[in-house]
Structure 1
Amino acid sequence: MRVISGERKGTKIKAVPGDNTRPTTDKVKESLFNVIGPYFNGGRALDLFAGSGGLGIEALSRGCEEAVFVDQHFKAVQTIKENLMTTRLVERSRVLKKDVSVALTELASETPFKLIFLDPPYAKERLVEHVTYIEQHDMLTDNGVIVCEHGSEIELPDRIGRLEVVKRMRYSTVISITLYEFMELEEEA
């Protein structure tokens, strides 16, 4: 695995040891960032179920000013911290060893995020619940994107509150990504 583009392009990052995580492949990561915006001018990223931290690190490399990484597993948190050291992005990052629901509750009062990545273990998906919480607590900026990586057999709803699906991408029989953004105001009337 490596950083695909931006200021840390080409830097290798480690995967979490063991079989408990499945990192987003470089091919999927490159395709995803081509869709959500190849580069960013500031903003905050939130990498939930962060694993190795690859998505949040990619967002930082491409111009996000800060990223918060959340994972409840010790090996994942240790790997994220090592990858942040390797990429020299420690000062622009915060790593929380917490359950995602607990972290969302704690982060709800902070400045909203421009990018929110949700990549839970497929057997433990509670994506609708997490996206609903994010929407209800205004944790996403008006021009922000929620990226949900999930099993291809899962079909997420077209709308969750004021959020709507703007793109669905299927990468294999196993991996799909659904993107949510706030719907246009004209459509709410």
Structure 2
Amino acid sequence: MRVIAGKYGSRNIETLKGMTTRPTSDKVRAAIFSKIGPYFNDETFLDVFGGSGAMSLEALSRGMKRVTILEKDIRASKMIQKNIDAFNENENCQLIKGDSLKILEQLPQTFDYIFIDPPYAYEHTETIIKMIIDNQIVEESGLIIVETDLRYDLPEKISGFGCVNLKKYSKTVVRYYEKG
């Protein structure tokens, strides 16, 4: 796996071996950043299920000012930290270890872009989205990007945010929610 574009373009990202995490493919990552960017200045990014940290490193590479990564899995957290260290991004990237639901209950920051890519069997994706909106973790003009398995259905509207775009990539669906 590698960073696709920006100041770290083509640099490798280490990932865990096995099935603990399911990193967003290069194709899907490129499509997401093509849709929302492709480059940024002072925006902020929250990666709710960090996995390898690839989405966050891509965001930093493309100019996001600050990135926060939430990850529960201990092995994945260690891999993310290793990648953050390798890219020398400790000042701009915060890794918070623990359960996303518990962290989101007390997260004080707000973000321009929030990326949610839960494990495919995860049953609380809609709850996570509602919590982000209701706790005003997403900026007023912010965007929530949700990557799920093709079989996982989400409503068109959640807490005043509507799905403004839906793209299918093989067995993956990416939904974009914004206010209105």
Q: Secondary structure of 2:141's partner?
A: strand
Preserved CA contact (<8 Å) 1:17 1:75: no
Match of 1:77 in 2: 77
Match of 1:128 in 2: 126
Question: Structure 1 residue 17: deviation in Å?
Answer: 2.7
Cα offsets for 1:51-94 (capped at 9, x unmatched):
00111111111111111111111111011011112222121111
Match of 1:92 in 2: 92
Count residues with an aligned counterpart.
180
Question: Structure 1 residue 136: deviation in Å?
Answer: 0.7
**CA RMSD for the aligned pairs?**
1.1
Preserved CA contact (<8 Å) 1:11 1:87: no
Question: Structure 1 residue 2: deviation in Å?
Answer: 0.7
After superposing on structure 2, the runs of 4+ consecutive aligned residues of structure 1 that deviate more than 2 Å are: none
Letter aligned with residue 176 of structure 2: L
Question: Structure 1 residue 39: deviation in Å?
Answer: 1.0
* Structure 2 portions without partners, runs of 5+: none
Q: Secondary structure of 1:122's partner?
A: coil
1:153 aligns with 2:127: no
Q: Secondary structure of 2:121's partner?
A: helix
Q: Secondary structure of 2:91's partner?
A: helix
Mapping for residues 9-48 of structure 1, pairs under 5 Å: 9-48=9-48
Match of 2:61 in 1: 61
Cα offsets for 1:101-157 (capped at 9, x unmatched):
0110121x32x1011111111111311101101111111112211111101012211
Q: Percent identity?
A: 34
Mapping for residues 169-180 of structure 1, pairs under 5 Å: 169-172=167-170, 174-180=171-177
Question: Structure 1 residue 45: deviation in Å?
Answer: 0.8
Q: Secondary structure of 2:70's partner?
A: strand
Question: Structure 1 residue 19: deviation in Å?
Answer: 1.2
Match of 1:165 in 2: 163
Q: Secondary structure of 1:31's partner?
A: helix
Question: Structure 1 residue 23: deviation in Å?
Answer: 0.5
Match of 1:106 in 2: 106
Preserved CA contact (<8 Å) 1:39 1:62: yes
- TM (normalized to structure 1)? 0.91
* Structure 1 portions without partners, runs of 5+: 184-189
Higher share in helix: 1
